[in-house]
Chain A
Amino acid sequence: MSHDTTKKTKGLFWHQAVIALLLIYLFLPVMATLLLSLAKEWQSELVPHHYTLQWYVEIFTDVRFISAMGRSVLVSAITVIISLMIMVPAIFVIAVYLPKWEKLLQIAVLLPFAFPPVVTAIGLIKIYSSGPIAISGTIWILVGAYFILILPFSYQSIRNSLRTIHAKDLMEAAEILGAGKITAFVQVILPNILPGILISSLLSFSLIFGEFVYANLLVGGSFETIQIYLFNKMRTGGQTASAVVITYFILIFIISGFIIKLGRWKPKEYVASTIAKGGE
């Protein structure tokens, strides 16, 4: 019996040791970056002796940084919103009314994985630099590319949300009760798929926020996103770049926090709080 317990503790010890190692491996670079971004200077010491916030002050007073941030937020937000406006109705209609076409949509949505960004980017530049849609070098070519990039994620999450609520049954029930198709969609489908959609939107948002290859190749010179700014900074000064990285990390951290919180959202919990407040 006691032999068994020691064996178990030992097993647990190895478990924890491996996890600890993994965490150190993952966080050591981040810690180092954090220290570097806070150090006055860091040459040969093990840890820096003097600390300062000057690098953060530097980037936050740098108009280039602020506008790069702004551009990244802008392009991420535009893409996510356009993607939602197109994909939610499209997936809904196909899932509920045209199930025959679902296979096709699934394939279409997975295609982006088949092409490496560099290849796609070169193709896009070729097509859109002249001709009827000359949008090369503008934010719109980037939005277009990102729309495709996040397609698999938005598709999966929207589709799963619809599947878990049995969207077709709900629509039929609502229609028999006298609701038109649009009213039914807005009142009984949308509220139930919203949490799932929000999660995927935030994921897509951070995915686009951290994207470098497309941004650099498609609009690198004319539209400096946060990743391109970072790339340029790394060539000039390590410590400013570190401050940028840490700022970026904090932002992603906040977004992840939201995602996790939303992921736990269930109608049930939302219910409990309404009941506590006395219902309707």
Chain B
Amino acid sequence: MSYVKIEGVSKYFGSTKVLNNISLSIEEGEFITLLGPSGCGKSTLLRAIAGLNDLSSGDIYVGDKKITHLPSKDREVGMVFQSYALFPNLNVFQNIAFGLKMEKMDKEQYTVKVEEMVELIDLKGKENMYPGQLSGGQQQRVALARALIKKPKILLLDEPLSALDAQIRRTLRNEIRLIQRKLNMTTIFVTHDQEEALTISDRIFVMNHGDIEQEGGPRSIYTSPETEFVARFIGNYNVLKKSELETTGARLVSENELFAIRPEAISIFPLAKEGHNMDETINIICEAEVVMSTVLGNVMRFDMDVKGIGITVDALNESKIHWIKNGMTVQIAIPIEECKGLRIPS
């Protein structure tokens, strides 16, 4: 029995359809991510769950209760905004206590809980500071604590890390995940950063133009994209038409029209050098010209030209690939099993 159920949800703004008949379900304690490019409707879906947008059609259930038409304040959800939205006139303590005060809880009772929360987010000693005096990362932690203290049924996080710099993003990302596990909090996380989604989630829903294109665990999403959009968005895949793949010399037995190949699955070796254990029965082997090489840190990216078709190849940046130079003609081997057939979304 799933804990959160979203059934056939659609949303129009005027005549533009922003959510297209979306259905998904989430287990209790699960951490799921809505991943997609800007404008694909992630925030709209999240805000609909929080009751900040109404829906054009469809229903939302949390733990068997239909919340589609409840006002925000009665939905028992917690939300963290991209802009933090801390109350500037209240200090850290008062911000975190706000939700409990709204429940008319006594001061003694909520003080204990707030102190626990402050401890959990590691902001002890800063209770009397005001949002304006905190760093971005600290503000975001306060926002998280403020949402968590009411023990919501679902925690909604709308790009909570996007205003922070890379270093703090990573630390805070891990902290969020730890706290979420500790409290077994059912969480919906929204981001347009695929690395963030892959590292943090139990399950990912890849969204595009108001549709869910694919759902699955991080590993399966990354290694087995089902559509061209997911392949390109999630991992810089090479996406080739059947005809293009055939010009490279492949003989494929598959009815798919489009194929995705991970850049790091392709290997490069010199023209002359034979004896590589490159089995032509499981590899497509062809000549390629190195058009451009780019250093991406621990990985080198080569843009290759194979009979007019552009193919990207990633290789670990180690000394044994330093012989590869721009303008050179090399051989590449594409494992046939890495050519993933893609479905064309309807």
Contacts and interface: CB of A to CB of B under 8 A. Distances in A.
Interface of A: 165-166, 169-170, 172-180, 183, 187-188, 191-192, 266-268, 271, 274-275, 279-280
B63 to A, nearest CB: 18
B102 A183 contact: yes
B72 A175 contact: yes
Interface stretch (B124-132, B283-291, B293-301): B124-132
9 contacts: A169-B81, A172-B79, A172-B85, A173-B85, A176-B78, A177-B98, A177-B102, A192-B89, A275-B129
Interface string B61-88: 0000000000111010111010101111
A267 B73 contact: no
Interface residues of B, number: 34
B73 A179 contact: yes
Interface string B86-104: 1111110110001100110
Nearest to B76: A178
A191 B51 CA distance: 25
B79 A173 contact: yes
Interface in B5-52: 50-52
Contacts of B203: none
A176 B132 contact: no
Given A191-B89, A192-B88, A176 B77 contact: yes
B150 interface: yes
Contact of B73 (A169, A175, A275, A279): A175
B133 A178 contact: no
B58 to A, nearest CB: 21
A166 B127 contact: no
A92 B229 CA distance: 42
B192 interface: no
B146 interface: yes
Contacts of A280: 91, 93-94, 128
Q: What 7 pairs across the A-B complex have the smallest Cβ distances?
A: A178-B102, A177-B99, A169-B85, A173-B85, A279-B128, A191-B89, A271-B130
B133 A271 contact: yes
B216 to A, nearest CB: 30
Nearest to A266: B132
A172 B94 CA distance: 17
Contacts of A170: 85, 87
Contacts of A188: 87, 89-90
A176 B50 contact: yes
B187 to A, nearest CB: 15
B150 A267 contact: no
A184 to B, nearest CB: 9
